[in-house]
């Protein structure tokens, strides 16, 4: 591995292991206990790797084309995948198919999201959103959205599900009798990130802006001026910093006090290509960013705007996920390489 300029070599991340998924790393997750890494490829392969050693535990052909969504259950016993084809699939932690969850009429199932509690998994296919039990029975199906769901997320306590689409964000409380609601926005929302404290919903918008709503009131703000559409959003564990990227730089909005409205964001410059992936460590406020320059950079945005660590993959960075105890960072690229770096 060679450094292509940038920060001093002493900050280069040390890989603990490397593994090949064989094709474009479309998604990757690590179980909450930090033991298992599940990754999925652009040609439908799903692979389980032991985080401690890098040893491959299983490899299955899950879908007939790119895996578009991957979500690991909170207890780490199962994971769900989706992609082209009629439905989502639920697998055991050993890679055995447990059951299939039929999607809607759409040929694509694009999003799966396991609820943080309560053993439910939400699946979005086109305009349809369904919630299933861990055992594979249908819990609820919401009224079809006005357009295809472009983002899906649960509130941190699992009491509410949100989906972004063209025209705004829809919310569905899971408790019986509670009414769903809609926060309208006249534009195409392309991603969704719910703050861990549940107080802010942030969405990337096709018109090169980031839109967010404060809950429960729904007061909204727009952060515009991105050179291209925002590709990634990430909240820090304290729900105070929202990292966004729509271009080569990373832009952070600070939600402390009255911000971020009327404040200048923190700008992190370091990538030499468009930054496409962001992941905040659950600990220590460390942010990882990955881009089309194949570079992975670490930042501590509260302390400074210089990268504190770096590493390179071989191709566009397509996945970044932290170990839940901050023991390391997993990265995947468009050529199918997976690397797990020590957190340092």
Q: Which of 199, 229, 283, 302 binds other proteins (CB under 8 A)?
A: 229
Task: Residue 142: count other Cβ atoms within 10 Å of its Cβ.
Answer: 18
Site membership for other proteins, residue 212 (CB under 8 A): no
d(CA 61, CA 46): 6
Site membership for other proteins, residue 294 (CB under 8 A): no
Site string for other proteins, 9-38 (x = CB under 8 A): --------------xx-x------------
Residues in the chain: 344
Cβ–Cβ under 8 Å, residues 119 and 136: no
Q: Which helix (H) or strand (E) holds 290?
A: strand 287-291
d(CA 344, CA 248): 25
What b/e string do you get for 144-181 counting C-beta neighbours within 10 Å, with b at 16 or more? ebeebbbbbbbbeebbbbbbbbbbbbbbbebeeeeeee
d(CA 343, CA 330): 10
Q: Which residues on adjacent β-strands are paired with residue 90?
A: 80, 99
Site membership for other proteins, residue 128 (CB under 8 A): no
Site membership for other proteins, residue 281 (CB under 8 A): no
Backbone angles phi, psi at 198, to 5 degrees: 80, 5
Of residues 244 and 318, the one with the C-beta less far from other proteins: 318
Q: Which of 244, 245, 318, 339 binds other proteins (CB under 8 A)?
A: 318
Q: Which of 42, 168, 265, 331 binds other proteins (CB under 8 A)?
A: 42
Of residues 23 and 238, the one with the C-beta less far from other proteins: 23
Site membership for other proteins, residue 317 (CB under 8 A): no
Site membership for other proteins, residue 305 (CB under 8 A): no
| Interface size with other proteins, residues (CB under 8 A) | 34
Q: CB under 8 Å to 262, separation ≥6 — which residues? A: none
Q: Which of 11, 18, 140, 148 binds other proteins (CB under 8 A)?
A: 148
Stretch that binds other proteins, among 115-123, 132-140, 142-150, 256-264 (CB under 8 A): 142-150
**Whole-number minimum distance, CB 23 to other proteins, in Å?**
5
Can you give the binding site for other proteins, defined by CB under 8 A? Answer: 23-24, 26, 42-43, 65-66, 68, 84, 106-108, 110, 126-127, 147-148, 150, 166, 185-188, 205-207, 209, 228-229, 231, 318, 334-336
């Amino acid at each position: 591995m060679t450094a292509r300029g940038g920060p001093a070599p002493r900050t280069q991340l040390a890989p603990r292991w490397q593994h090949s998924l064989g094709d474009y790393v479309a998604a990757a997750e690590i179980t909450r206990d930090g033991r298992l890494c599940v990754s999925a490829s652009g040609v439908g392969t799903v692979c389980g790797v032991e985080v401690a050693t890098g040893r491959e535990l299983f490899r299955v052909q899950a879908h007939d084309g790119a895996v578009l969504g991957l979500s690991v259950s909170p207890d780490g016993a199962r994971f769900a995948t989706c992609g082209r084809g009629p439905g989502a699939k639920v697998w055991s932690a050993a890679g055995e198919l447990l059951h299939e969850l039929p999607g809607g009429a759409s040929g694509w199932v694009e999003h799966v999201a396991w609820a943080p509690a309560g053993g439910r998994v939400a699946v979005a296919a086109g305009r349809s959103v369904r919630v299933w039990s861990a055992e594979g029975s249908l819990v609820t199906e919401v009224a079809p959205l006005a357009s295809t769901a472009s983002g899906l997320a649960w509130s941190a306590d699992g009491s509410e599900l949100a989906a972004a689409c063209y025209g705004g964000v829809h919310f569905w409380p899971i408790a019986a009798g509670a009414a769903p609601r809609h926060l309208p926005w006249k534009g195409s929302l392309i991603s969704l990130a719910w703050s861990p404290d549940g107080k802010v919903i942030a969405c990337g918008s096709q018109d090169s802006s980031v839109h967010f709503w404060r809950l429960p009131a729904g007061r909204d703000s727009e952060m515009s001026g991105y050179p291209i559409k925002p590709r990634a959003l990430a909240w820090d564990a304290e729900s105070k910093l929202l990292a966004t990227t729509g271009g080569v730089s990373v832009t952070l909005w600070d939600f402390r006090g009255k911000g971020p409205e009327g404040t200048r964001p923190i700008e992190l410059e370091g990538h030499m290509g468009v930054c496409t992936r962001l992941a905040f460590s659950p600990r220590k406020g460390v942010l990882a960013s990955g881009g089309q320059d194949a570079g992975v950079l670490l930042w501590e945005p509260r302390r400074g705007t210089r990268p504190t660590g770096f590493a390179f993959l071989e191709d566009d960075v397509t996945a970044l996920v932290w170990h839940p105890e901050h023991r390391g960072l997993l990265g995947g690229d468009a050529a199918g390489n997976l690397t797990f770096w020590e957190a340092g």
